[in-house]
A and B are shown apart, each in its own frame.
Chain A
C-alpha cells in the first residue's frame, strides 16, 4: 500500500533514525559550521551511510544497488531532515545517481553507478544560473570541438559543488536561452582544467558553490544521453530531487514541530503551561492538520516515482509546493512559540529555520511549483 509503510520500510526508517540521531545530530552540523570544515560533511559518516546501503537504495542490483525503491530512499532522507545531516546523499544518491541511471548508456552506468553506490564517487548537479530555479533557462554552452566538446558558462547554488568529484553540468548545445530543446547533460571532473569553484557559505551551513567553466574540454563519452536532448531526462531527475527534498522538509518540519510542542508542555508563564493557552493550541493544531496532509502528499509522491511515473510531475510539484509552505510556517512558529530563546543561536531551532529557507529554494520555490501545477492541470 502506497500510503502506509510496510514492515521493511518501517525497519529502514527506524534504522535511519537511530543511526542519524547517534552519528549525525544537529550538534554535528553546528560543529561543521563552527570549525569551518573544508569538506562540509564528515567523510567517515558518509562511508558508514554508504555501508548501510543508503547511496544505493534505488539502484538496480546489477550496479551494486539494493533495488529497494525510491520510497525507501525518501524515508532515509526524511530522517536526515530531522537531524539536518550534511552529506552527499541528496546531490549524489538522488540527483547524480538518477541522472546517470535514467540518462546514461550502459558503459556509463557500469562505470559510475557502482562507484556512487559504494560512496567512492560523489556528484553535484550544476544547473542554476540565476537566483531562481529556472531549469530550462540555460546559457552555459556546450559546443563541438575537435576531440569532443567545449563547455563555457557560470553556475550558482550548486549543492555539494565544492566537494563533489564529478559535476553534472546542464549546458546548451543549441536553441534559445529559454528553450527546453537543445539542452545537454555532461559529466565534468571538478578538478578539470578551466573549472573554477567558489564555495559559498549559506544560511543553512550546508554545502553549495558557484562554479565557472572556461573552455573546459569535455570528451564525447562524458555526455549523458543524447547531445541536445537532455530535457526529458533532466525533468525526471529534477522531479525525483523535488520529491526527495520534500521528504527532507517533512522530516525537518516534524522535528521542529515536535520540539516546539514539547516546549509548550514545559514552559510556564502566568502560572500555567503555555501549551494550555488556546491561542497557541489552535496554531499548533492547524500545523498538525497540515502535517498530516503533507505526510500523505510526500508518501504519494515518493511512490509515484516507482509506481505511477506518469503522475510524477504533478505530484512532485504538489509535494514541493506544499512542503515549502509547511516548512516555512512550522519553522516560523517554532521560533515564535519558543519566545526569546527561539532567536538564540544556542537553541537548535534556528538551524531548522535556516535550513528550511535553503530547502525552499532548492529545485523550485512555492511560486514556481504552483505555476507548474496549474499549467500541468491546464489553467
Chain B
C-alpha cells in the first residue's frame, strides 16, 4: 500500500453516491479526500466487487455472447497497447490529471494516455462526435473490468469526465460543447467543482456566492469551500446566486469560471487525517463572460439535480483503480487475530466481521442490480439508497480494521509500524468524512423519506 494520499477525486465519490435524481442535491461540495474516495471506490467499484463478492451470471444468451466478443477484443487491445509499467496501482504522483499544468510521470504514462484518448476511452460512454468512446453501459463496464483485470491504470483522472461533461452534454449549447467537451476528453483542461460554501453545506440551496449581471458580463463575489484540488485546476464549475430575491432554489445558476481570471484565489484546508487537498476558493469581483452560463438563467438548480442523475450513470465507468487497496478485514483478521478451531477466537470481533461482510455482499449485489435495472430500463429505489448504505458500511469497515489491528492500528507516523498499519489509521480518520461529504447520511435519509417513501414534509 502506498503511504501518501491518493488523489482520486472526490467528485467521483459524489458521483457515486449523491442521492441521484433527488429533489435536493444533497450537500454541495462533493468533497471528499482522495483517500476516502479511494476507500469507497476500492470496495464498491464493480470490478472490485467481482473479485470479492458473489455476483450473478447474466442470463440473456445473445447479449452475453455479444458482450463476450467485445470482451475478447478489448482484452486483446489492452494486451497490445497498455505498457507493462502502466499495469499496477498508480501512486498519487503517477496519476495523470491533465490540465494546463498536467505532467506525465513517465513516457509510458503519456503513451498509454494517448492510445486510450485516440479510442475515446478516456470517456468511454461519451458520443464519438465529441471525442468520446461511444460505448454502451455494459461495454463500458466490460472495459473497466478488463482494465482492472490487468490492473491497467486510469489514463486520465478528471472531474470534467466524471461530473461536468455529462451535464454539459445535456444542458450546454453547441458552442459550449465544442469549447469544453473535447478539451475534457483530451485532458487539456482540469476542472474542479464549486458547490458548497462556508455557510451552505447540507443546505446547499442557501448558497450566497453572487453573480451580478453587468450587461456584457457577470461579476462574481463570494467563496466556495471543499473545492478539491482547486489549486491545481484550470476551470471551476459553480452554482451561483443570480436572483437574490427569488425562492432559494429558483435564483441559482450554473456558471463556468476560468480560474486564471483576475480575482480568483485559493487556500488549502488541513483535516483531522493530516491531509490537505481541500481548498477554499475566493471570488473577488471576478468578471465572467456571459456565454459561460450553462442552461437558462436561474435554472442552475435543475442542472445540479440532473447532474446527479448523470453521476449515477457514471458508476459504470467508475474507477476500479484506487491508488491503494485497503487490507480487506478478512485478511487483516488472519494477520492480527487468534483463531481457534478455524474460527476467530474473539466472538465479538467474529460477529462484527461477519455482519460487515454480509452487509457488503448485500451492497455489492444491490450495486450490480442497479446496472441490470439500468440496462433493462427498470426504475427502482436502489440507486437512491447506495450512498447511505455504502458510506455507512465503509465507516464500519474502518472501525472494524482498527479493532482487528488493536494497538498496531494506532500508529500515527514514523518507526514501529508498517506502512499499511499507518495507512489504516489515516484512512480511519478520513472515513469519518464519508458520511458527511456528498450529502450527509442524514440528508440521504431525508431524500429517501421524501422521494422514495413520499412522506409528508414538515
* A contact residues vs B (CB 8 Å cutoff): 1-4, 6, 261, 264-265, 272-273, 275-278, 280-282, 284-286, 288-289, 292-297, 299-300, 303-304, 307-308, 311, 314-315, 318, 321-322, 370-371, 373-375, 377-379
CA distance A321 to B448 in the complex (A): 25
Query: CA–CA, A375 to B341, complex, Å?
Result: 10
Closest to B357 in A: A377
Is there a chain A Cβ closer than 8 Å to B389's Cβ? yes
B452 beta carbon closer than 8 Å to chain A: yes
Chain B residues whose CB sits within 8 angstroms of the CB of A294 once the complex forms:
362
Q: Report if A288-B358 is in contact (Cβ < 8 Å); known contacts: A1-B59, A3-B368, A375-B342.
A: no
Q: Is the CB of B354 within 8 A of A370?
A: yes
CB distance from A238 to the nearest CB of B (A): 19
B365 touches A300 (CB 8 A): yes
Known: A1-B58, A4-B378, A370-B354. A284 touches B368 (CB 8 A): no
Interface size class of B (residues with CB under 8 A): 35 or more
User: Other CB < 8 Å A-B pairs besides A277-B458, A278-B446, A300-B54, 10 of them?
Assistant: A1-B58, A278-B449, A284-B453, A285-B446, A293-B365, A300-B365, A370-B358, A371-B354, A373-B354, A374-B357
- Smallest Cβ-Cβ distance to A310: which chain B residue: B54
CB-based contact B389/A289 at 8 Å: yes
Q: Does B351 sit within 8 A of A, measured CB to CB?
A: yes
Q: In the complex, what residues of B have CB within 8 A of residue A4's CB?
A: 369, 372-373, 376, 378
Residues of A contacting B343 with CB < 8 Å? 374-375, 379
- A265–B56 CB distance below 8 A: no
**Of B60, B351, B378, B381, which is within 8 A of A288 by CB?**
B381
Chain A residues touching B, majority SS:
helix
**CB interface residues, B 405-458, toward A, < 8 Å:** 442, 444-446, 448-449, 452-458
Contact check, B369 vs A275: say whether CB atoms are below 8 A apart: no
- CA A321 to CA B356, docked complex, whole Å: 13
Chain A residues, CB < 8 A from B79 = none
Given A261-B453, A374-B350: A278 touches B362 (CB 8 Å cut-off): no
How many angstroms between the C-alpha atoms of A4 and B344 in the bound complex?
37
CB distance A379 to B353 under 8 Å? yes
Among B54, B58, B351, B380, find the residue whose CB has the most chain A CB atoms closer than 10 A.
B54
* Cβ distance A296 to chain B, nearest Cβ, rounded Å: 4
User: Please, what's the 1-or-0 string for B337-351, where 1 marks a CB less than 8 Å from any CB in chain A?
Assistant: 001001110000011
Q: Cβ of B358: which chain A residues have Cβ within 8 Å of it?
A: 318, 321-322, 370, 373
Is the beta-carbon distance between B449 and A284 smaller than 8 angstroms? Answer: yes
| Nearest-CB residue, chain B, relative to A3 | B369
- How far is A275 from B456 in the complex, measured between Cα atoms in Å? 6
Contacts of B373 in A (CB 8 A): 3-4
- CB-contacts of B59-91 with A (<8 A): 59-60
Chain A residue at minimal CB-CB distance from B353: A379
- CB of B267 within 8 Å of the partner chain: no
Knowing A3-B56, A318-B358, A370-B358 touch, does A285 contact B366 (C-beta < 8 A)?
Answer: no
Q: A284-B455, A293-B363 are in contact. Are A1 and B376 (CB under 8 A)?
A: yes
B330 at the interface (CB under 8 A from A): yes
* CB contact between B56 and one of A264, A277, A293, A300 (< 8 Å): that residue: A300
Instruction: Please give, as numbers and ranges, the residues of chain A lying within 8 Å of B351 by CB-CB distance.
Output: 370
Which among A293, A314, A374 has the greatest number of chain B C-beta atoms within 10 A?
Answer: A293
- Give 3 closest A-B pairs by Cβ, nearest first: A2-B56, A281-B449, A285-B448
Partner of A379 from B333, B355, B363, B365 at Cβ < 8 Å:
B333
Q: Which residue of B54, B339, B362, B385 is within 8 Å of A311 (Cβ)?
A: B54
User: B388 within 8 Å of A by Cβ?
Assistant: yes
B interface list, Cβ under 8 A from A:
54-60, 330, 333-334, 339, 342-344, 350-351, 353-355, 357-359, 361-363, 365-366, 368-369, 372-373, 375-376, 378, 380-382, 385, 388-389, 442, 444-446, 448-449, 452-458
A378 touches B342 (CB 8 A): yes
The 30 listed contacts between A and B (C-beta, < 8 Å) are A2-B372, A3-B56, A4-B372, A265-B454, A272-B456, A275-B455, A277-B458, A285-B388, A285-B449, A285-B452, A289-B385, A292-B380, A292-B382, A293-B366, A293-B385, A293-B389, A296-B362, A299-B365, A299-B369, A303-B56, A307-B56, A307-B57, A307-B59, A308-B56, A315-B54, A318-B358, A318-B361, A377-B354, A377-B357, A379-B344
Closest residue on chain B to residue A280 by CB atoms: B455
**Shortest Cβ gap from A322 to chain B (Å):** 6
B56 nearest CB neighbor, chain A only: A2
The closest CB in chain B to the CB of A260 belongs to B453
With a CB–CB cut-off of 8 A, which chain A residues contact B372? 1-4
Task: Report the separation of the CA atoms of residues A4 and B379 in the bound assembly, to the nearest whole angstrom.
Answer: 10
The answer to whether B445 touches A285 (Cβ under 8 A) is yes
Residue contact A292 to B453, C-beta cutoff 8 Å: no
Cα distance A311–B369 when bound, in Å?
18
Known: A1-B376, A300-B54, A375-B342. A286 touches B445 (CB 8 A): yes
Q: Are B56 and A379 in contact (CB under 8 A)?
A: no
Chain A hits for B362, CB < 8 A: 293-294, 296-297, 318, 322
CA distance A294 to B456 in the complex (A): 26
B456 is contacted by which of A265, A299, A322, A370 (Cβ under 8 Å)?
Answer: A265
CB of B238, distance to nearest CB on chain A (Å): 30
Chain A, Cβ-Cβ closest to B365: A296
Contact (Cβ within 8 A) A314 B54: yes
Residues of A with C-beta under 8 A to B458:
272, 276-278
A294 and B365 CA atoms in complex are apart in Å by: 9
Given contacts A264-B455, A303-B56, A318-B358, contact A281 B445 (CB under 8 A): yes
Q: Please name the residue on chain A nearest to B363 by beta carbon.
A: A293
**B403 smallest CB distance to A (angstroms):** 14
Contact residues in B for A297 (Cβ distance below 8 Å): 361-362, 365
Pair B366/A292 contact, Cβ less than 8 Å: yes
Chain A residues positioned under 8 Å from B445 (CB to CB): 281-282, 285-286
